[in-house]
A and B are shown apart, each in its own frame.
Chain A
Amino acid sequence: MGNKQTIFTPEQLDAYQDCTFFTRKEILRLFYRYRDLAPQLVPLSYINKPDVKLPYELIGSMAELKDNPFRQRIAEVFSEDGEGNMTLDDFLDMFSVLSEMAPRDLKAYYAFKIYDFNNDDYICKSDLEKTVNKLTRNELTPEEVSLVCDKVIDEADQDNDGKLSVEDFQHMIVRAPDFLSTFHIRI
């Protein structure tokens, strides 16, 4: 294992530190976590800015994500190509947003994106149905699912357009105090 001087330059580390909610130590730890996913792919030095991308299959197999029903969405939202293949930057970004330090609005913004399955800027009924099915492992009947979704839209939709916008979502998040602690992955 190289020490931190050989993995990143101090400038790189500073940049990472300024762009995420992590300390140097945590950044290095996350780097090792990233590298452990595919030691043969990820070089031990990032000084030359290698263009490495880990495929979704590897990212999704992380202990933190592998049982999460939303793992694919998380990976898609945070990856630059939108398909779940992640560079180290994306990886750090993801855990930075999911860390304890991230503010509510940032978390809410990304949570919204995660639940917006069809990427249309709104959480519509089909998104909600997908969410419910993921949350309950398809144990509810379709009627129940659609009833629940109607109720949710009814409650959270402030401007009556039949779907939830980012603002609706954020408005709702403000009233759910547990969100901050549950939208959080310990690393």
Chain B
Amino acid sequence: MGFRNIIGRRLGLGLVRRRKPFSTATCDGDGNGNAKSINLYSAINQALHIALETDNRAFVFGEDVSFGGVFRCTTGLADRFGKARVFNTPLCEQGIVGFGIGLAAMGNRAIAEIQFADYIYPAFDQIVNEAAKFRYRSGNQFNCGGLTIRAPYGAVGHGGHYHSQSPEAFFCHVPGIKVVIPRSPRQAKGLLLSCIRDPNPVVFFEPKWLYRLAVEEVPEHDYMLPLSEAEVIRQGSDITLVGWGAQLSVMEQACNEAEKDGISCELIDLKTLLPWDKETVEASVRKTGRVLISHEAPVTGGFGAEISASIVERCFLRLEAPVARVCGLDTPFPLVFEPFYMPTKNKILDAIKATVNY
């Protein structure tokens, strides 16, 4: 039992394995404190409660956050911390982020919510030109490190063009901000607390499909998970799979299927996309010699392209097969065609086999 616990902790298994008796995260206060089985939006809610509790200059604002938000992530905050700290903004994303930058520049923790990641584009200028470059252009006199922007991203089954997008790649192209994406409730709470307390502006994308669907044991106390550290959530020796967010559960299913065919897959959760943990991925590729990246965003110019180029640069001679990418198609996120667009388990499985048999 003890041995399995150690292995379990090293493996850091995620939500699909929740039946197993060992804990999931690698470095939280495991063993300590009570853990309750909750879903993703409750975990995020807990993180926000703790963030506002522990720092009385932390603020949460955005469209409709006061009553709890359209996904209930901000329930109870306004009642507990008051309207001066938890408040609604009008419908103006550019205004929300700009305002957040200013608030953060005065040393506060500004936690801004963009209701859907699809709506983040009016704020794109503020994030890229104002938030990301503030510290740099002021010679470190000012910074907006206290800014955290939270946005639900990703497909949800029926979201259509404007409620399903994954815009992470746009933001990974901006030095000066961090981009973080959790895969499960336990990860989300720890990562969100780290993001809020990180001295750099962070864009935190939450996989909306998992808000209710993902349920996990989450410790009730205050804990943080490190940023820019990828996690190997499944050990393997034949091929490395890299992903983040909701896509990981799809990849895990593909790995299980591949195992039946004797292919041993190593699955890595990147967690932080910018700056991303090249060392962990590289070490894994050096072990397996093959890599496959999967994300929901369209394949051309997606973040998989960056990972692919970096790995090829660093591990060219070790690679046994070309880097595979199984991603969304190069079309706008469709309405009725969503099942065709998505990088499904079968597409990933196919690509695993093609790569292994190259």
Q: Do A and B come from one complex?
A: no
User: What residues of chain A have their CB less than 8 Å away from a CB belonging to chain B?
Assistant: none
